[in-house]
Structure 1
């Protein structure tokens, strides 16, 4: 069904664009065309309009059946009327079909091909509003979509008209083909630049990531479309640089017709694939199932794969030798051998370098994590870890459990930096199906899907906590990397009602109190809350229980007070407690009475203070200065921990 829809949409677009292009050619070249050629133009335009209308009706019909979810025999007239008039898709398609009919009437009855061409473009724009890529976007996205569609339609339609005109050129006017080709070439160049620029922008918006380009239907269609655009551009460049200068001095150039038809064939493929793309769900909205056994990650591979430097050097040498040999053969006119040698150089170089630039990957490597990175999930993940993983990995996750000595290879140290070299999807796969070439079993049959994700989040937080030792009271400008652990805060402090506060542009000072003995620090913060608010900050105080002074949670003088009655918040954030002075390698250290974290507006921890260290807690003036510094930073990184 979806294949039929995609082909119908793409062919309808191509037919309507060809109709508009031929009508444009008829309007612009009317005086330079013989009567027989003008008649042929009219016939081709009428046929294209009929095909566009018929295919548009087919697309509307099939999509209506799919939207209603009923068998065709059960659909009545009111159902069809609801889809056509009651949905944006139906109204857009009805308007597009109406424009095609108006365009055909303008050509056949009014004999105004220019008006028909304008109406055909309107038809394509109306159809745009029923596509996935144009749905739910911003005004800027819509403008880019419109520019992309109009430029593509003008290019394809003009090319169609040019091919027809060149095939029926008048022998009495030898200068006509050269003039038409030169005029179209001058127009096609900026059109194609606009198509490519807007296409790249739309691709970035709809694909989002490289995995989305490689591992989704939308990405595959997009790569096919880009390949066809590239081939069409090669044909166009050959015509413009090689054939057009010859045509200006000679009456005919035999290869010209073939090259133009080849370009038109690739253009047809571009339009068909564009139709398929308009019906495909964009990659950023699709769960990615990684199809390869590896992924490119040079930074990790360079550190972890033995001999990776030699492999990369060998690949570069093979590529350089192949390139130089191909250049020499090309200068000697041996183009076939030059191509073979260049391809061999790329292949051998890739065979050497690829293993040194990639790491193992699994179907879930780029999976979207369905569990929020918050204190509740991390706490539940710790419960799962304690019940299932301690025997091998140990209470602290350092690979020193009771069974560790009998296992070959030994269990991994989950607190080591290598943990963050892997994606959370990698770890989810190992928890589910076991780690290759090790004694680690899979837990897919014992743990629920959510529990497996929760234990992965706990392990990630545990490892990040050991890396967080380098975090101190000073903010490293423009270098966020430690992801904040979320938890519910006060309504009104942040529209999302969580600790990160990414949506309201505020930095957050999270103060976690282990007991109620040092409430004077909270009093001091409350006395300076206006200065902190003017610096773009919000104070969130996490207390273990109500006190005589603060009996209920909520907003108290613009300070958010949260009661951590089950101690989940403190336990999760204590994973980030370690410093260079208090590394906590053996987990035998007590958390400080007060520990504070400064979170920027993008959800990253940027500074930390402990009440039991020499520097102690930050003064209000230091907090104001730090928050002012964070507010001045540009948008530097919004990647979430789930993408790590």
Structure 2
């Protein structure tokens, strides 16, 4: 119940704030300072300011109750003060409340002072600042409090206010211009009917003629209509930017999460609103404006036929009816926006059960000539639909053709282009793995793969196991083919759990625990990333971190007593990870020991990990000779995981069980990406020349963040 009340208060304050912005902007551009509808709107401004403050107080009360978990705190001022003093949300609320008080003061000043355009703009600016301060509490600001993160959200809500907030003023003019005529003006026989009413008669008393009032109103509507189109385009553009940030690459969340469904409903309502607005702009508003001109003509020479006035009245009544409906839809959009703003974004929402038997995927289908042909054909049909819309307007097609032809082309485009992109999906397809992508999981997955999968898939996952030839359909090559790129981690989990019908893939749900199955999934991803790393060399590719080159995280304890994780250095230092064998790497370790002070100056930490299983005495001897940490706990898992990144173009190592190089060095940048690798046995001379290694580190230190940090889980 408290959540429902909180939503209503948020909606109340947001709607009133937006109407204050849009209403004042409308008054500023209308210029009809002496019209009665202006007086009505000005009377409403202080009330809207008061509603804004009440809404903010309601938000404070309900948020306090929700944050503390004590419903009674909604009424306790002391609890409010604690929230205001000790939380970021409380500080933002204070700013919003201060701005709201200023808006209320300006609205009261407007109500009781002579009218001027600058006063309306002042009120609109103050109300916009209130919205901007509120944007500091948005999802975008919560993730990163910066100008670039907050600006799109603030612009979106302010521009939406210019449109939505002006609708009440728009309706006030429509009602003033189209009220039923008074009985005293009705005529019989061939007398010309009028549309004058008692309300219009009062306007006539203020103006010198009724026609001036109607003309002023129609002119104000035309000005707003001319401004509304670019404003709405900007609203859509900023909305796309915000949605992209909140969805990221999790487009599946648009049709499988609460955030997605709310956003879909919001877009659907906006689509209806745009249709109404287009009709109003192209048909009903011109009729009303034409009628106002006709009235002026009649007044002067009484020669104009009343048909124009009848059409104007009909157009005005349509405008009044449908803009009223548009306003109700807009209130619904604002309500949905309020709920969306307080819902977990799609990119963070969990999809435990994918509800469809298919999904659309470019990664899994693109490259097939048939797929590409059909998709491009669908795109061509969509372009043709756009052309049909433009041609229909230009040639003045009838309504059936203007709607039917583009609709048929759009349906044909979707039917042609989408099915080829569809692939099978399962309830677990978008389930996020609960097991992090780290060396412990990968090492465990490696052991499970060796026990259960080698017979069919081979020791390196190439699908060349001893039983492979016994199947009608050979096992897939998990190493060299991009299956992990084409399928989700949830897909692999489903196959491990339930097997694959009509193949030799068995069910493992009764043999492997859920965590074990996720460990196997992590191992398959590490194996695939390792194969893709064969393109890596001792030289860093400037400004080109690869999204799929996030190395496995690991925990370690060194012989000198230091401990931590690889992730601890993220955002701070580069990491030179050295996998060595003893005594083969003795000379290289000596070189690195001499180089260590210069590595530290290059903002780089060095971690040495023994490949074999040296004795405690050997580890003590090694650690005594070098100034950097030598890992003694966690080394086995690190070696087993990073050995998957051993392949090079010159030595792909695809035969048998593979060979572990005697010495490998990896550079991981401070943003968490694997950027370069040196394997002396495969690459020859390289980082044994200190200057070359330091050049690579200098390049990484010059780079700013290009990609967001790699995730802790595979997808």
Normalised by the size of structure 1, how large is the TM-score? 0.81
Query: Which of 494, 519, 526 is 1:429 aligned to?
Result: 494
Q: Is the 8 A contact 2:65 2:74 kept in 1?
A: no
Shift of 1:522: 1.5
Query: Which of 470, 476, 486 is 1:412 aligned to?
Result: 476
Shift of 1:594: 0.9
Higher alpha-carbon Rg: 2
Query: What is the rounded CA distance, in whole Å, between the counterparts of 2:379 and 2:18 in structure 1?
Result: 46
Q: CA RMSD, aligned part only?
A: 4.4
Aligned counterpart, 1:451: 516
Are residues 622 and 96 of structure 1, via their aligned partners in 2, closer, same or farther at CA, if it must alter by over 3 Å? closer
Secondary structure of 2:213 counterpart: coil
- After TM superposition, the structure 1 = structure 2 runs for residues 443-482 of structure 1, keeping only pairs within 5 Å, are 443-444=508-509, 446-476=511-541, 478=544, 480=546, 481-482=548-549
Aligned counterpart, 2:450: 386
- After TM superposition, the structure 1 = structure 2 runs for residues 128-139 of structure 1, keeping only pairs within 5 Å, are 134-135=141-142, 137-139=144-146
Query: Which of 142, 149, 165 is 2:157 aligned to?
Result: 149
Secondary structure of 2:397 counterpart: coil
Question: Can you list the C-alpha shifts for 1:112-167, whole angstroms capped at 9, x where unaligned?
Answer: 48687677656656655665555454042345444443443344223322321342
Q: Is the 8 A contact 2:246 2:345 kept in 1?
A: yes
Which segments of 5 or more consecutive residues in structure 2 lack a partner in the other structure? 114-118, 178-202, 204-209, 294-311
Question: Can you list the C-alpha shifts for 1:226-273, whole angstroms capped at 9, x where unaligned?
Answer: 444455456556666777677666516553534644543443233222
Aligned counterpart, 1:355: 419
Are residues 98 and 311 of structure 1, via their aligned partners in 2, closer, same or farther at CA, if it must alter by over 3 Å? closer
Aligned counterpart, 2:348: 285
Aligned counterpart, 2:432: 368
Query: What is the rounded CA distance, in whole Å, between the counterparts of 2:708 and 2:74 in structure 1?
Result: 49
Query: Which of 77, 83, 87 is 1:86 aligned to?
Result: 83
Are residues 58 and 495 of structure 1, via their aligned partners in 2, closer, same or farther at CA, if it must alter by over 3 Å? farther
Are residues 500 and 33 of structure 1, via their aligned partners in 2, closer, same or farther at CA, if it must alter by over 3 Å? same
1:298 aligns with 2:339: no
Normalised by the size of structure 2, how large is the TM-score? 0.74
Secondary structure of 2:341 counterpart: helix
Query: Which of 578, 584, 602 is 1:517 aligned to?
Result: 584
Q: Is the 8 A contact 2:457 2:464 kept in 1?
A: yes
Query: What is the rounded CA distance, in whole Å, between the counterparts of 2:223 and 2:41 in structure 1?
Result: 19
Are residues 97 and 445 of structure 1, via their aligned partners in 2, closer, same or farther at CA, if it must alter by over 3 Å? farther
Query: What is the rounded CA distance, in whole Å, between the counterparts of 1:81 and 1:68 in structure 2?
Result: 12
Query: What is the rounded CA distance, in whole Å, between the counterparts of 1:129 and 1:319 in structure 2?
Result: 39
1:159 aligns with 2:130: no
Aligned counterpart, 1:486: 553
Aligned counterpart, 1:640: 710
1:571 aligns with 2:660: no
Secondary structure of 1:503 counterpart: coil
1:10 aligns with 2:7: no
Question: Can you list the C-alpha shifts for 1:423-481, whole angstroms capped at 9, x where unaligned?
Answer: 22321222233335434344445544332221111111123333433434454553634
Which segments of 5 or more consecutive residues in structure 1 lack a partner in the other structure? none
More deviation, 212-221/85-94? 85-94
Secondary structure of 2:350 counterpart: coil
Count, aligned residues: 636
Secondary structure of 1:377 counterpart: helix
- After TM superposition, the structure 1 = structure 2 runs for residues 208-227 of structure 1, keeping only pairs within 5 Å, are 208-209=248-249, 210-227=251-268
1:624 aligns with 2:631: no
1:583 aligns with 2:652: yes
Query: What is the rounded CA distance, in whole Å, between the counterparts of 1:374 and 1:263 in structure 2?
Result: 53
Shift of 1:311: 3.5
Query: What is the rounded CA distance, in whole Å, between the counterparts of 1:327 and 1:42 in structure 2?
Result: 41
Are residues 194 and 85 of structure 1, via their aligned partners in 2, closer, same or farther at CA, if it must alter by over 3 Å? farther
